[in-house]
Each structure stands twice: as structure tokens, then as C-alpha cells.
Amino acid sequence: MNLLLHNLSIQIKPYRSLISMVIFLVSLISAAELKLEPIKLKLPKPMFIGTPQNLNVKNLQKPLGKPRPAFLAPIGTKNLSLGKKVFSSDDFPVIGEIEMITDGDKEASDGSFVELGPFQQDVTIDLGKKYKIYAIVLWHYHKQPRIYFDVIVQAGNNKKMTKDVNILFNNDIDNSSGLGKGTDMHYVETSEGKLIDARGVSARYVNLHSRGNTNNDLNHYIEVSVYGMPLK
């Protein structure tokens, strides 16, 4: 028995240094992920100033009254969605082209937004492969103080959102869109956009829903930025 253990120890010994090296490299990767910095987010020009009045919407988030705090993510996090392919439930937008949603233009000027048809609509961004996603910033239309309804943001690994789906934001408080009752708050569109914490989920596709707004039944997108980094 002692001889067997001795022989086994001899066989394992050459691999000990390799195992130690692997453990060391894993610890280095984990440490790097813990080093955080603010995501590089250039905001568009504000189009209105002050607090909107007479917006009688349930479950409405109160304005911060000051700039949003910087969002911290691991060093190396970047905008993955810039120039990436976008699909839409509305094949023929009323205004604009679907590709404008990831063209980098966040301004609310004429010619910078896409207008989709009425009622429930959604868009899907294909990142090309799976990434680790830390934040999603969404601009619907911030030229006026509007509130969009049934805003749902989810990430998954196929275009139809049937595999490995993570719902990251949902303010559909009555499940009128049929994707589940949400608990997130309604919010007023501003030039800061809506920043959603994606919690480091791994996904290739990002899907966004809305169902009209306080001005009309149409749906608008200026820009969607998806921040993340390649999988290790």
C-alpha cells in the first residue's frame, strides 16, 4: 500500500507546477476583472431643461436632479453594439432606418431617430458572438419629456429569445406585452438615456421592447449602446 502511494506521488509531482500555474493565471484574471473604471459614455446635447409637469403615470421614477453617477465596469469594457446588425418587428419604419439604432448618433435632432409603428414593437441587436455584458444604455426620443410604456430589455443566445434569456429590465406593470409582469419603474426620457445594469450576463443578442409613449402610440429609438467585453 505504501509503495502504491509512493508511486502515485511520483506520477503526480510533475503536474504540480502546472496546476499551480493554472491557479495563478485564474487568480490574475479574476483580479483584473475586479479592477473597475467608468464606462466611456459621451452624452448628447440636452434638448429640454427642468422637471416635466403633468405626467400622470403610475410607478414613475423621480428625477435625480443631478447628473447620473458614473457606471463602473471592468477595465477593457467597450461599446460592443456600434455598427452591429439590428432586426426589428417593423420591417418598414415610419421614419429612419433600423441601422441608425447602432450608428453612434445619440442626438435628438431630426434625422437621428427611427420611428416604428404603433403598439408593441421590438428591436434586436446581434453582437455577432457571445460577450459578457455589463451595461446597456438606451435612448428612445429625448427631444421632449416622454415616457415609453412596457420597456423590456433582455439578453439571450438566439434571435427569438428562446434560449438562455435574461430579463434585465421590465416596467410592464400589468403584463400587457405578454412577457411577464415587471417591477421596474417608468422613467422620463432625457439626454442621459436609460442605463441598465446587465450584471455581467453572457449573451449574443440584446432585445428591446416598447408599447407607445405618453405623446402617441408610436415607438422610437435614437441609439442603443451595449457595453461589455469578450468572454475569457
What CATH number has the domain bearing residue 213? Answer: 2.60.120.260
In a domain, 11, yes or no: no
Q: Which of 195, 84, 209 minimizes the C-alpha distance to 138?
A: 195
In a domain, 1, yes or no: no
In a domain, 2, yes or no: no
Q: How many Cβ atoms sit within 10 Å of the Cβ of residue 190?
A: 21
Q: Residue 190 in contact with residue 65, Cβ under 8 Å?
A: no
In a domain, 9, yes or no: no
Helices (H), the chain: 2-34
Q: Which domain holds residue 47?
A: 36-230
In a domain, 137, yes or no: yes
Q: Which of 125, 139, 134, 153 minimizes the C-alpha distance to 197?
A: 134
Question: With left for phi above 0 and alpha for psi between -120 and 50, is residue 14 left, alpha or beta?
Answer: alpha
In a domain, 5, yes or no: no
DSSP 178-195: SS----SPB----TT-EE
Average pLDDT of each block of 10 consecutive residues along the chain (232 residues)? 47 53 50 80 86 79 92 98 98 96 96 97 98 98 95 96 94 96 96 98 98 97 98 90
In a domain, 14, yes or no: no
Q: Domain tally for the chain?
A: 1
In a domain, 16, yes or no: no
Burial (CB count <10 Å: 0-12, 13-18, 19+), residue 149: buried
